[in-house]
Homo-oligomer: A and B are copies of this chain.
Amino acid sequence: MEVSLYQRTYMMLNPKIISDDVARFLSEDIGGGDLTALVIPDNTLAKATIMTREATIVCGQAWVDEIFKQLNPNIDIDWQQLEGSQAFAGDTLCFLSGPARALMSGERAALNILQTLSSTATLANQFAKAVEGTKTVVLDTRKTLPGLRLAQKYAVKCGGASNHRVGLYDGILIKENHIMAAGSIMQAVSSARLVSDSVNVEVEVENLDEVQQALDAKADILLLDNFNLNQLKQAVQLTKGAAKLEASGNVDLSTIRDIALTGVDFVSVGALTKNVQAADLSMRVMLEDYV
């Protein structure tokens, strides 16, 4: 049984999610076929190397493996860095070898997913380090790149932060309109408890009075939206551990530690997944006869 390095996974993704993702990525890039590939003679072999030009957390190895597997099962990949590990400028991420046409056809799709997910993992890692030593956990949000929700959630875990609900189906978050429709926080929470017993009920609150109402309603988590540091501390004191507290709202690397030090359990950060500054990676292909 071969065990690749990347099997140090951070989420137990259904393998079909990765294979469907990859089929889509290859379809948008290759379409009917790679026109330029025909310039390379049949059955030419090549070696290739993926390197990073900047420091990055490595993330996305399972997608890269699947890309080359779908293009040509005869391609071999040998990872030099563990998934989720810290790589530095100049580091080799992996060696590849196999049919030259398929290696070149898959290059861009492989780099695109690797540079996008590594970017997210790296940012998650910076936020996670910023709160190191506190009891606070950094969470992502549903503000993600369309179509990449699960992949980005995976990258967040890979970087050392944690996941808020994945979508509307695996967690309950009661907002202002739900409260208004239900009549009160108490009634909204009670109505939500009937929906499912397997997920937490979280309530978004706007002030300390609502904090108290949510505690009275026995919510599992309170989302403290745009509270300042003083308000956060008061919420922590009021709650006394009776519920988990999550702070959110324009959090950045310069403010997150102070927020964490107020004693909240979670800080959620939209910027983790809605913005991307692609990791600077490159792939170099060498045809066999010219190596």
Question: A-side interface residues toward B, CB under 8 Å?
Answer: 1, 3, 7-9, 11-17, 21, 23-44, 46, 63, 70-72, 74, 98-101, 104-105, 108-109, 111-113, 115-116, 137, 139, 142-151, 153, 162-175, 177-178, 180-182, 188, 191-192, 194-200, 202, 221, 244, 246, 266, 274-278, 285-287, 290
Contacts and interface: CB of A to CB of B under 8 A. Distances in A.
A150 to B, nearest CB: 5
Contacts of A100: 177, 181
B37 A116 contact: no
B150 A32 contact: yes
Contacts of A286: 177
Contacts of A191: 38-39
17 contacts: A14-B27, A16-B27, A17-B33, A25-B147, A29-B167, A30-B169, A39-B191, A40-B182, A100-B181, A108-B142, A108-B168, A113-B146, A162-B197, A165-B199, A170-B198, A177-B285, A197-B266
A14 B198 CA distance: 19
A184 B266 CA distance: 26
B181 A145 contact: no
Interface of A is mostly: mixed
Contact of A290 (B74, B180, B182): B180
A32 B8 contact: no
Nearest to A190: B39
A17 B39 contact: no
A12 B37 contact: yes
Given A148-B146, A168-B29, A275-B277, A195 B35 contact: yes
B180 A287 contact: yes
A285 B202 CA distance: 19
A260 to B, nearest CB: 15
